[in-house]
């Protein structure tokens, strides 16, 4: 995979510099090797998801957690609220906020 580690975009973008420093890559070839490894790892993760719970189920669980956190849940409440949303089959921010409001008024 052809990538570069020098040039205007790399030298001007602070996060690109941080990423290269974090990875400890000194050459474009090293960066390419890391990038290919990440891609392969993602493919293996996708295969695992297909062979187990499935991508849709895993994605919806992750989405439910994100919605729960956006609604203001924290700590153990995130998992509890996400599970409630999944059980209801309505993973929406408005539903999560309603559930949070109900639990706070008790």
| Residue 98 vs residues 1, 82, 102: alpha-carbon distances, Å | 48, 13, 6
pLDDT per residue over 50-73, tens digit each?
777 667 777 788 899 999 999 999
pLDDT-derived band at 1 (thresholds 50, 70, 90) equals: confident
Q: Do 63 and 38 fall within a single domain? A: no
Q: What's the mean pLDDT in 85-95?
A: 94
- The predicted model scores a pTM of 0.52
Q: Do 42 and 62 fall within a single domain? A: no
The percentage of the chain sitting over the pLDDT mark of 70, rounded to a whole number, equals 97
Tally of structural domains, the chain: 2
Residue 1 belongs to a domain: no
* Domain containing residue 85: CATH number: 1.10.8
């Amino acid at each position: 995979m052809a990538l570069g580690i020098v040039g205007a975009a790399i030298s001007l973008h602070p996060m690109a510099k941080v990423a290269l420093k974090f990875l400890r890559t000194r050459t474009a070839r090293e960066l390419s090797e890391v990038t290919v490894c990440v891609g392969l790892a993602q493919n293996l993760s996708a295969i695992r998801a297909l062979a187990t719970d499935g991508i849709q189920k895993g994605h919806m669980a992750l989405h439910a957690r994100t919605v729960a956190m956006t609604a203001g849940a924290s700590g153990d409440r995130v998992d509890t609220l996400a599970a409630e949303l999944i059980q209801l089959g309505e993973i929406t921010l408005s539903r999560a906020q309603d559930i949070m409001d109900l639990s706070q008024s008790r």
